[in-house]
Structure 1
């Protein structure tokens, strides 16, 4: 009998290396916080793992899709679901919001696709996100061909830079075979890109026109050299990577058009449509259009290549800064991929042109700069957690050590968790570090003939020592800046702790700014009084029982006003705006009458918890089980502690709410000191 899960999910990113599994881990942790069972299917480079069965899909309460590639979402038709990009689920907090939203979503029984609910709320960027998903589906399938072909071609150079040429003095048969195999794999790059963009849009029928469009993109319109007319035996000028993208989207949407045209055909002709009508007409239409736009596409492609070459020849500094910033700004996202794919495109042109050509020099130099920029960010975190160990949590330290391996193998995504905690100034630090490495790589004349692999391809790098030196300089500069930032953050937290009133003598350990270190006084509820509870994280003076409020916004305003009165915050309006901003992302109403509103803002002076109990219920506050909110446990956190105290307090409160005894005790307690004591016990 199939196991039942509260939540099922599917994750996938273009490369299928880091984001996919980071999202999986975040979703699993967020589900555990809520006392929910979950199964996450991953769409990585090795294929689908932990695959969902039809029985598991049917039994699930809700679905979360966090992917930038096609994950066959049609399987989830009619289930309550949210569908977002994979980067929206890589933090535990964000993953928790997705789960909450999925549980709160109402299934559309008439849905013909699992993405219907997101489409109904169609915002302008949703279409852009769909285009991005289709593109990344093609890129994810293409990358493995690029890596395999590029590395094999690079390895062939170990026998000599012309070892594949039978007329050269350093000719080697095995090297020539490697170069042949690698070249074939690289030549498949554009057809695969085009085919899988098309497949993401039009599913399996779109593969045929997609592959044809990709082949036309690399071969161009054949013209006879003698007559100047279209001639199947002639030769053409390909329009490459850009043509593959255009062909992929064209093929996919042509299939969708044909599906509408043939929709009225009898059902018994469905087989004929799949094996005859779709491939025949789509290939004809797409082929004619691709050949028709061959001339303009060649002009555009040549113009783009000329621009890139002009940027290269403008100097190492502007080019290196551009490459470094693009690679580090989103670490594996679309901007990073744009720089990487440009590098592989130029590298492919260079490898085809051959060693000694200007195309080869330009392509391998650009690839060297891109690789250096992608390697640096995870190594920056590794340097920082080692040099400034005491400024990082144990979890961050462990992740930084793992990033030594990820960085050395050209996997930039390992640095993402560090950046998401403090986008400013971590993102600029990473961009500066990568730019330094890229600029130095170009200035030192390094050439990398392989598109991936990190330090594994050092044997084929021309100027390997200089390349490593450039990467180390970028790493050290970034590591020092990152460590300095964390030291400043840590010093500020310590000063905040020192400024707080001393805890009563009965408290065994000092109070820390982070909840994991908080050791509030344990108080017997029957003997609790405000003086005793004052030493805990939650103070009885910040618990308001038996209140009556008109609606959710009034409740949050009440909390904001009292936070300012208590000295917890200095701007009630800013605090209320932070609460409402979070509610706009998805309700914080939970189950059984509880809500966990939380605000992250500089208006908050120190991390605090306030409680509002409204026995008659708070109108207009949505919850997962539609029960009215009667107890709001509000989290108030300074912006600087958004990735530390905020997540720790939230996770502990959320975990406490999965305990039936805790919820019952909170409901029954009418004395502020008793309520404070109950929550303090859970924040230990």
Structure 2
């Protein structure tokens, strides 16, 4: 995808941001702006476009400007505003944590080429280079918990929240013996809240004279002391909760692989990189850090299957899709093979009530078969690139393809039925879609769509594509 250019923004009548993390919206100053989570962009794109074009939508201005509302969001005092802030703060932490998890996990997984015990000097499998890879990867994985807490805190209370969150996250990590990612989540919010309270407490001190004192001394010292002390007290009980959750999930792997696979499959295909998907992935990475490679195998299978399903669907029923949809389906073969699930979003958004359950079926099948076969994947990302690290690589690929095929068949049937409802009997779906788009009053003005996850609501016009930064300009 590409970013929206300044020229396109200047010509837009409104802006829709569909993002699960904080987006720098300053470049959209002076434009009516609607800011929603990605899930809303998938469910109701037409409604959001209408809202952006409405005269009632607030014009966005950066802080310090004369805005009627900030970033088009509901006020933080409303329950919806508070809920959205909690959600975006968590996603901010997760998005900064995941690259570390992927880098560390892949390096550790590569070290296993020399043997599972290749990093142990006392074992016959010991290899110095493998031990170095394992140590470097372990260091990156060790930053997972502190970085998660730090950037949750940063989303809540900016730089001071990041500093306190990092300190609290280190307590939660405690050399791998702390409360883990649950402690990091609680600690990150707590760090941000403590800083916000301190800012209110010292509001009587003018920023002009005391900004440096507050930012360098008062907030960090008092924030780390207060939040750190609380984290120190709750670390042990939260550790017990974290270990209990992990033990329960581990037990499901052997006692109820079918139930676990269905749950994981449904979660991974529910919102494609959104909070539900991230919850499953985050749990997999936490278990991976503890040496459990079974859970991540099912999560990866459930995430890889949806984009591959779109490829299969396009191949099975090409006349039910327009040119750009077919192209996107072909590209998804590559995206899915490398564990990039978001390529399925435009297809899910086209008919969410029907297509998302179809994706869930395939993901659940892939995850269930993976768990039943006791497949292990020691890398948190990479898709088929990390096949040499998988204990049963060909079987794993086979189960993923089975799940993808199940979803692909369902998607092809749904797409064909949708085309027939539009009166398309000759297979020329593009003509019907173009006619329908021409009658669409919603798209009467250009809208700048800026999606932080690079996935727009799909268009139905054959002249338009799934390009994430596309400016919709139908006149």
| 1:307-336 CA-partner distances (Å, limit 9, x unpaired) | 212322322111111111110111111111
The answer to whether structure 1 residue 105 and structure 2 residue 93 are counterparts is no
**For 1:105, what is the secondary structure of its paired residue?**
coil
Q: How many residues align?
A: 452
Whether the 8 Å contact between 1:62 and 1:103 is mirrored in structure 2 is no
Whether the 8 Å contact between 1:135 and 1:245 is mirrored in structure 2 is yes
The answer to whether structure 1 residue 349 and structure 2 residue 290 are counterparts is yes
Specify whether residues 113 and 130 from structure 1 end up closer, same or farther in structure 2 by C-alpha distance, changes over 3 A only: farther
Structure 1: where are the runs of 5+ without partners?
Answer: 1-20, 29-35, 40-55, 221-235, 351-362, 499-509, 519-536, 539-587, 589-595, 599-622, 625-641, 657-684
| 1:350-371 CA-partner distances (Å, limit 9, x unpaired) | 1xxxxxxxxxxxx211000000
Note the C-alpha offset of 1:125: 2.6
Identify the residue that residue 405 of structure 1 maps to in structure 2.
334
Identify the residue that residue 244 of structure 1 maps to in structure 2.
184
Identify the residue that residue 144 of structure 1 maps to in structure 2.
99
| 1:163-215 CA-partner distances (Å, limit 9, x unpaired) | 11111112110000000000000000000000000001110111211111111
Specify whether residues 72 and 63 from structure 1 end up closer, same or farther in structure 2 by C-alpha distance, changes over 3 A only: same
Q: Distance in 2 between matches of 1:300 and 1:512?
A: 54
Identify the residue that residue 334 of structure 1 maps to in structure 2.
275
Name which of 438, 462, 467 aligns with 2:391. Answer: 462
Correspondences of 1:24-43 after superposition (within 5 Å): 37-39=7-9
Specify whether residues 113 and 175 from structure 1 end up closer, same or farther in structure 2 by C-alpha distance, changes over 3 A only: farther
Q: Distance in 2 between matches of 1:425 and 1:396?
A: 17
Q: Distance in 1 between matches of 2:459 and 2:329?
A: 16
Correspondences of 1:247-286 after superposition (within 5 Å): 247-266=187-206, 267-286=208-227
Correspondences of 1:243-642 after superposition (within 5 Å): 243-266=183-206, 267-350=208-291, 363-494=292-423, 514-516=432-434, 596=441
Structure 1 or 2, whichever has the larger Rg, is 1
Query: In angstroms, what is the RMSD of aligned CA positions?
Result: 3.6
**For 1:514, what is the secondary structure of its paired residue?**
helix
Structure 2: where are the runs of 5+ without partners?
Answer: 447-457, 465-469
Q: Distance in 2 between matches of 1:179 and 1:324?
A: 30
Which stretch shifts more, 477-486 or 105-114? 105-114
Q: Distance in 2 between matches of 1:322 and 1:655?
A: 41
Which is richer in helix? Answer: 2
Q: Distance in 2 between matches of 1:168 and 1:150?
A: 22
Specify whether residues 482 and 89 from structure 1 end up closer, same or farther in structure 2 by C-alpha distance, changes over 3 A only: closer
Q: TM-score, normalised by structure 2?
A: 0.85
Whether the 8 Å contact between 1:378 and 1:404 is mirrored in structure 2 is yes
Whether the 8 Å contact between 2:183 and 2:238 is mirrored in structure 1 is yes
Q: TM-score, normalised by structure 1?
A: 0.60
Whether the 8 Å contact between 1:202 and 1:255 is mirrored in structure 2 is yes
| 1:567-595 CA-partner distances (Å, limit 9, x unpaired) | xxxxxxxxxxxxxxxxxxxxx9xxxxxxx
Q: Which has the higher contact order (CA 8 A, sep 6+)?
A: 2
**For 1:118, what is the secondary structure of its paired residue?**
coil
The answer to whether structure 1 residue 132 and structure 2 residue 50 are counterparts is no
Specify whether residues 75 and 268 from structure 1 end up closer, same or farther in structure 2 by C-alpha distance, changes over 3 A only: farther
Specify whether residues 125 and 171 from structure 1 end up closer, same or farther in structure 2 by C-alpha distance, changes over 3 A only: same
